[in-house]
Structure 1
């Protein structure tokens, strides 16, 4: 999970961080990256807000003077004030509780961990929830000749889901720290990342290292002590993909391939987390195995879900990349958006067809397609419809429209999430009813 989140964060930030030249032009032309509060900025509003703050809040508000000399080589003083103004109002809007502590360091750490921008974490978590729920449903149906009770299923699902949620937030934060440490001398040259805590001097390198060590320790503890051993080995298997990332982002047009490969590893880990949590009877039914062997995992269903989430990520991240294509050309940044150009939609349609077939096969292998699984079946068709509709509707030459449909993918993923959870709740109720009938007879 550590490698997944780090690779996602580094990949996601590459475009903006490498645009080092012509930053003022970037600031003027790409205002849609700023918050919706951008239009409210004026020198009078800035003064009113600043004068209304307490002394500690003013420290939170202002850019530390240690980096101002370097920042002013790229931006004007008024532009820096606008970034301060937007940043403070953004924090006040999404995380007002932070300001109540009046702690500049606490606010900076929260920004370093991207707690105010959870979209990436939610997209990362979605394939994990799918695989956790699918495997829990398989256990209720008698996977590997072991039918879990309602209590065992709920306890296992609840525990593993909690661990995955905690792990996703912790390790995505760790990835953000690594990213900011690496790009601390670049971020203040780009408008969108100007106020990042390391770029403007609110967090120093030593503090970032301590934060990273703490987050990494928590993540490894969850992986080692909370999850079955199958998850450990599956997690390690993703490391080679991370190592080849520099080759992809610098010398090929397919950084999205590496992003999609790592970002959706949770679609495999969720199966191992649930199915690896049980003991299984030997064939002679006289002894118990301690755990499930790797070869006994439902690899076809796992592979189908992984292909599904991989291609889904390829689709929405290519749409995301079309926002920056004009600036990527100037910065010599390669992406599928530039490689496919005007042929992007036909390629996306092709991937969507393969994705829909893989999703159907994965659900079918897991026993989640058919008249007895109406909700999960309906969620598959609804998700596919929304994905095809996105490709049809998105205007790849309109950055705002690309951003809109990129964010919509989080809602589209929730269609399957909700469908699976409803199906799981129904099967739990049905399973409980069957247990009652058995006891009655």
Structure 2
């Protein structure tokens, strides 16, 4: 099979396709390094939490190091999660147009080699985690239960996005675990707000596969909400903003953080207005734009942390 034929259907024109050594490309695709948006979305709650916790502590001395470690950890562990997802979903992926070109169903990587690659990524993630205090290490390890369960949820519930939210928002707890060695109400509110945000944006993402999912019996909030998706997004995004706002208030945030939340809110409103669930390409673009939404909120939190320190 030529490398052009081996490319994943929705990830053409990236650095993996053009720069990475040929032998590494199936593994990099397995870890989604050709489509890093998921890593960025996993990273956003980590960075939000680190910045808000630094603001609460009035201490940014460790923030640059934490930001770098969270960055590496998010990309590695998202890769591990995707590898696990592809191992468990290999038969389902072969039945969906967008996913049948993934490395395992396409025959580029065997299940045994994928499992070995999963272990390697998990060990790198563990090495990152061991840089933190014991409470943060335990908190990070606890997330693996949710990550392991997630691929099976789409088989049993129309709400797999909730479980994804639990996993992808875990970083909202990690910043406080690292900074303070505990998880308080501010962290829990941030976590809850992030979960609501994830449910919203992953519903958008799921609309790309809604027709194929319905045919093979896969469940999602995209199928559950259907034509009511815009209304559901409004509810979940509003809840996300309210909960994150409550976290900022409880954490004593100042005006830069509130400004960040305001522009984050404006971006979410733009998504709802712009979305057309009948257009899969537009759904993907709107979904990807959530990285920018997250960065807008992060900018406010970082400025606030620096000013408070």
The TM-score with structure 1 as length reference comes to 0.63
Deviations 1:113-168 (A, max 9, x none): 2222110000000000000011111111xxxxxxx4xxxx32x2122222211111
Larger radius of gyration: 1
Q: Superposition pairs for residues 260-339 of structure 1, below 5 Å?
A: 260-276=165-181, 294=182, 297=183, 299-339=184-224
Shift of 1:187: 4.4
Partner of 1:159: 65
Other-structure match for 1:133: 51
Post-superposition offset of 1:389: 2.7
Q: 1:344 to 1:333 in 2, by over 3 A?
A: same
Alignment equivalent of 2:105, drawn from 174, 196, 199: 199
Q: Which residue matches 1:258?
A: 163
Seen in structure 2, the aligned counterparts of structure 1 residues 311 and 237 have a Cα distance that, compared at 3 Å, is same
Deviates more, 1:315-324 or 1:195-204: 195-204
Larger deviation, residues 189-198 vs 128-137: 189-198
Go from structure 1 to structure 2 and tell me whether the alpha carbon gap of 1:85 and 1:131 turns closer, same or farther (over 3 Å shift): closer
- Contact 2:32–2:82 (8 Å) recurs in 1: yes
Counterpart check, 1:238 vs 2:163: no
Is 1:83–1:194's contact at 8 Å kept on the other side of the alignment? Answer: no
- Structure 2 residues without counterparts, runs of 5 or longer: none
Partner of 1:379: 260
- Match of residue 409, structure 1, among 277, 290, 303: 290
* Displacement of 1:188: 5.0
Aligned-residue offset at 1:312: 0.6
Q: Which whole-Å CA distance do the structure 2 matches of 1:424 and 1:302 have between them?
A: 15
Q: Residue 196 of structure 1 aligns to a residue in which SS? A: coil
Report the secondary structure of 1:396's partner residue.
Answer: coil
Instruction: Give CA deviations for 1:7-28 in whole Å, capped at 9, x if unaligned.
Output: xxxxxxxxxxxxxxxxxxxxxx
Matched, 1:212 2:118: yes
8 Å contact 1:160–1:274 — kept in the other structure? no
Residue equivalent to 2:87: 181
C-alpha distance after superposition, 1:85-132 (max 9, x if no partner): 888x9467555332xxxx532233322322221100000000000000
1:96 aligns with 2:18: yes
CA distance 1:96–1:164, change in 2 (3 Å): same
Greater CA drift, 195-204 or 127-136: 195-204
Once residues 120 and 22 of structure 2 are traced to their aligned partners in structure 1, the CA distance between those partners, rounded to angstroms, is: 20
Q: Which residue, 60, 64, 83 being the options, matches 2:5?
A: 83
Contact kept in structure 2, 1:124 and 1:263, CA below 8 Å: yes
Contact 1:304 1:362 in 2 (8 A): yes
CA distance in 2, matches of 1:411, 1:188: 32
2:252 matched to 1:367? yes
Residues 359/329 of structure 1: CA separation in 2 closer, same or farther (3 Å cut): same
Q: In the alignment, is residue 249 of structure 1 matched against residue 165 of structure 2? A: no
1:225-278: per-residue Cα shift (whole Å, max 9, x none)? 2111222332344355456546632222111111111110100111111223xx
